[in-house]
Chains A and B, each alone.
Chain A
């Protein structure tokens, strides 16, 4: 861990990148202000209780991290601070019923499907999950799409250029199976053989987040084994969910000092977002007869800020003939999608959603594309409020369509 607080030189550069500061225009709701408050709490000059509302209002979007020239590890700081304050608090973060439910349901698609059908799930877990996940849960529709079973091996079309393993994910499999289908189709169309190990499961990021490190490790270990059993070499482990991607990049950390450490690091090293992988590989030429389309690209926080992935999806979209890629003129501020956030800070979340929708509309786009389904509902809702029902899709969906 780094000396985050000390490396903050109080320059204020991060203020421009902070969604809460841009809405509220007050120092306590800026990264610099939050760091200063945390510092005072830890120095004992301020009660944690007083600072808490400002810390709670932080979206965890990590917009401040790439914006900081001094390299302040705000994410690490926030996590350690919360852990320390939580441990000193008498009230636990989650009541035991909710905790059990998350542990026993979310990571398992079939149980999750059953629970989601009963309709209770969303409300129960909202407010306790990381934003990218609760964002997904907002998606829990009246009717779930029919389950899709992907085969264990999808051969490359044409000349075989690479071989990858695919992490299908847990919640997203149930809510938006079409994204996984599109991912596999896109890879295959690009001469990539895709292996989907049966025994794989949830990546465990959800459980790490609620402090269930032991169980998170069990899930992660299961995946280490599942992917280790693949016959032959693989070039990458592909994910299409920003939250899982950033979680799995941290497997090395999760197993630090354990016997699995080396294996976990090697695994983490292989994990790649689908857009990063395809950009490095290079797309096979797309059919020329594409429709004219004006597409806005929205940078999902967990892809752009947490993983620094901004160019690859743009490069891929720019390769589609007749597609005009449009940039949002909003400095990449978070769309406010965090599900917890919608509940706890409805006004700020709504303002951020409106700004995002406005920025999208201002580009004159006919559709909007992003790399994380966590943002879908928020963007759709606020576009709809403006009377603009633009299609919202995952980057891979558009690309897969373009190959058809």
Chain B
């Protein structure tokens, strides 16, 4: 490939400061929210229209240069980490909500639209977009589609795939295709291509336009916090709530360490001294919510909770969720480095899984904070480590591997919502047989014959990127910061 002319073609599509090739401009794009891995790309382009994206993909295809689509770079699995010598296509400027249909309850949006902005824009019609990843204030719909992202309220309403009605996509060779339809009625004809694309982690091309389903805003919410003296009891309470016939909007658990971090960030007053807190949110029509609430309180009282709190008002509810949604990041207050895991276990195995995780992390001598979508059995153990210590990251990674093995052993899976990305790629053979993997490769190769769309992610094989160097921080060396 003639590098000069390749850059020149990118420049023609995205002129001036919209094609970035200097170090200073590339560095901030070299990793996503999983900083343990990073790769500097050859270029970052900032397209402003779908046509420009298509043109960029075509140029990459012709030159055989790999590319990765990037939303807000909040992926926790290295999904949007650049490909070496590849192009990062940053979609943040494609952020228009193109059409809202309050009657049909749908919206057509560009991929760079931030998840929460959809709900903000349709609020005036009494509607909202249901999937609510904790990162919803900043992650993009494009990223959500690629990872089939979930959130606290996906227990009741399902993940992103349940809310995407239509997709316009540019395939890795530059062809534009449309899947699904713009209305609910149009679904169900032919193969479920949306199902294939949603969760494909950028390996099947780039979503250019997404038609999403909207839901009416519930009339009432009731948010209940229950404090427990063991994590296992909280886990078992989740099964009890579901067994009682209730389907809450959300059921989340935070353990002692996660609570400590969240409390420092939002000062909500989570039940004091709890080893674990279960958050249950009921939502729907007022009368029904009131009835369910009585029922719920009975179940929770029977599950050994030592304290039950109910959100006093909307501001209090917002704070409880702010604490929960910011929990991963607030763990940064406790430890400079951590790995977030995303394993899933059958709900009935929650208590057991938590107990086993505790045992193995103790044997590793590492602290693990737990904060997770309990209703879905989607665990998020955060393994705390100190990256400045030699070998600490590797030690933590080894524990992460054991935790995933526990999930698989208990009948679960590797990822609930954060994707495989680069991080869990090499665990795929533990979960899938060779035949399964071959089938995946076959589909991939059919859609992307040159293997240029986010290669090296999700499917095992390929080079592993270099792990970040760790050591004493230069700011500390310079005497600017100290750790107290």
A69-B326, A70-B332, A71-B332 given; A13·B481 CB < 8 A: no
Closest Cβ–Cβ distance, residue B40 to chain A (whole Å)? 11
18 A–B pairs (Cβ distance < 8 Å), ordered by A: A2-B483, A9-B33, A9-B328, A9-B331, A11-B33, A11-B329, A11-B332, A36-B27, A42-B478, A43-B474, A46-B23, A46-B24, A50-B23, A69-B332, A70-B332, A71-B332, A80-B480, A84-B480
Q: Does B454 contact A (CB under 8 A)?
A: no
Residues of A within 8 A of B114 (CB): 16
A3-B482, A27-B29, A37-B24 given; A10·B35 CB < 8 A: yes
Q: Does A12 contact B (CB under 8 A)?
A: yes
CB of A28 within 8 A of CB of B24, answer: yes
* Residue of B24, B327, B474, B484 touching A69 (CB-CB under 8 A): B327
Residues of A within 8 A of B31 (CB): 10
Compute how far the CA of A4 lies from the CA of B481 in the bound complex, rounded to whole angstroms: 8
CB of B120 within 8 A of CB of A70, answer: no
Residues of A within 8 A of B329 (CB): 9, 11, 13, 68-70
CB of A26 within 8 A of CB of B46, answer: yes
Given contacts A5-B475, A6-B483, A69-B326, 11 further A-B contacts (CB under 8 A): A5-B473, A9-B33, A9-B329, A12-B72, A25-B112, A28-B25, A30-B28, A36-B27, A51-B24, A69-B328, A70-B329
Q: Does B291 contact A (CB under 8 A)?
A: no
Interface residues of B, count at CB 8 A: 50
Binding-face segment, B88-96, B248-256, B272-280, B292-300: B88-96
Residues of B within 8 A of A50 (CB): 22-24
CB of A69 within 8 A of CB of B265, answer: yes
CB contacts under 8 Å to B, within A1-54, are 1-13, 15-16, 25-28, 30, 32-33, 36-37, 39-40, 42-46, 50-51, 54
Q: Does A329 contact B (CB under 8 A)?
A: yes
Closest Cβ–Cβ distance, residue A379 to chain B (whole Å)? 22
A71-B265, A84-B478 given; A3·B473 CB < 8 A: yes
Residues of B within 8 A of A7 (CB): 332-333, 336
Q: Does B49 contact A (CB under 8 A)?
A: no
Residue of B nearest to A70 (CB): B332
Residues of B bordering A, CB below 8 Å: 22-25, 27-29, 31-33, 35, 46, 72-74, 90, 92-93, 95, 112, 114, 116, 120, 135, 137-139, 262, 264-265, 326-333, 336, 338, 473-476, 478, 480-484
Compute how far the CA of A32 lies from the CA of B484 in the bound complex, rounded to whole angstroms: 23
Residue from A8, A16, A69, A81 whose CB has the most chain B CB atoms within 10 Å? A69
CB contacts under 8 Å to B, within A49-93, are 50-51, 54, 68-72, 77, 80-81, 84
CB of B73 within 8 A of CB of A13, answer: no
Compute how far the CA of A328 lies from the CA of B331 in the bound complex, rounded to whole angstroms: 31
* Residue of A2, A30, A71 touching B330 (CB-CB under 8 A): A71
Residues of B within 8 A of A43 (CB): 474
A25-B92, A69-B329, A70-B333 given; A13·B138 CB < 8 A: yes
Q: Which 4 A-B pairs have the closest CB atoms?
A: A70-B332, A69-B326, A69-B329, A33-B28
CB of A36 within 8 A of CB of B28, answer: yes
Residues of B within 8 A of A15 (CB): 72, 138
Closest Cβ–Cβ distance, residue B311 to chain A (whole Å)? 18
Residues of B within 8 A of A12 (CB): 33, 72-74, 135, 138-139
Residues of B within 8 A of A6 (CB): 336, 473, 481, 483
Closest Cβ–Cβ distance, residue A78 to chain B (whole Å)? 12
A12-B72, A26-B92, A68-B329 given; A42·B336 CB < 8 A: no
Count, A-B residue pairs, CB within 8 A: 131
Residue from A2, A27, A80 whose CB has the most chain B CB atoms within 10 Å? A27
CB of B482 within 8 A of CB of A37, answer: no
Residues of A within 8 A of B480 (CB): 1, 42, 80-81, 84
Compute how far the CA of A77 lies from the CA of B333 in the bound complex, rounded to whole angstroms: 16
CB of A8 within 8 A of CB of B332, answer: yes
Residue of A nearest to B71 (CB): A12
CB of B93 within 8 A of CB of A5, answer: no
CB of B478 within 8 A of CB of A329, answer: no
Residue from B114, B265, B474 whose CB has the most chain A CB atoms within 10 Å? B474
Compute how far the CA of A27 lies from the CA of B327 in the bound complex, rounded to whole angstroms: 23
Residues of B within 8 A of A30 (CB): 28
Compute how far the CA of A5 lies from the CA of B2 in the bound complex, rounded to whole angstroms: 39
Closest Cβ–Cβ distance, residue A43 to chain B (whole Å)? 4
Residues of A within 8 A of B90 (CB): 25-27
* Residue of B28, B478, B483 touching A27 (CB-CB under 8 A): B28
CB of A9 within 8 A of CB of B92, answer: no
Residues of B within 8 A of A32 (CB): 28
Residues of B within 8 A of A37 (CB): 24, 27-28
Compute how far the CA of A37 lies from the CA of B28 in the bound complex, rounded to whole angstroms: 7
Compute how far the CA of A366 lies from the CA of B354 in the bound complex, rounded to whole angstroms: 56
Residues of B within 8 A of A13 (CB): 135, 137-138, 326, 329
* Residue of B28, B138, B330 touching A70 (CB-CB under 8 A): B330
Residues of A within 8 A of B93 (CB): 25
Compute how far the CA of A32 lies from the CA of B112 in the bound complex, rounded to whole angstroms: 18
Closest Cβ–Cβ distance, residue A376 to chain B (whole Å)? 28
Residues of A within 8 A of B333 (CB): 7, 70-71
Residues of B within 8 A of A33 (CB): 28
Residues of B within 8 A of A5 (CB): 473, 475, 481
CB of B74 within 8 A of CB of A3, answer: no
Residues of B within 8 A of A81 (CB): 480
Compute how far the CA of A217 lies from the CA of B4 in the bound complex, rounded to whole angstroms: 57
Compute how far the CA of A322 lies from the CA of B475 in the bound complex, rounded to whole angstroms: 54
Compute how far the CA of A78 lies from the CA of B243 in the bound complex, rounded to whole angstroms: 53
Compute how far the CA of A68 lies from the CA of B264 in the bound complex, rounded to whole angstroms: 12
Compute how far the CA of A376 lies from the CA of B251 in the bound complex, rounded to whole angstroms: 46
* Residue of A28, A42, A71, A72 touching B264 (CB-CB under 8 A): A71
Residue from B138, B474, B484 whose CB has the most chain A CB atoms within 10 Å? B138
CB of B483 within 8 A of CB of A3, answer: yes
Residue of A nearest to B95 (CB): A25
Compute how far the CA of A33 lies from the CA of B481 in the bound complex, rounded to whole angstroms: 19
A70-B333, A71-B333, A84-B478 given; A11·B28 CB < 8 A: no
Residue of B nearest to A43 (CB): B474
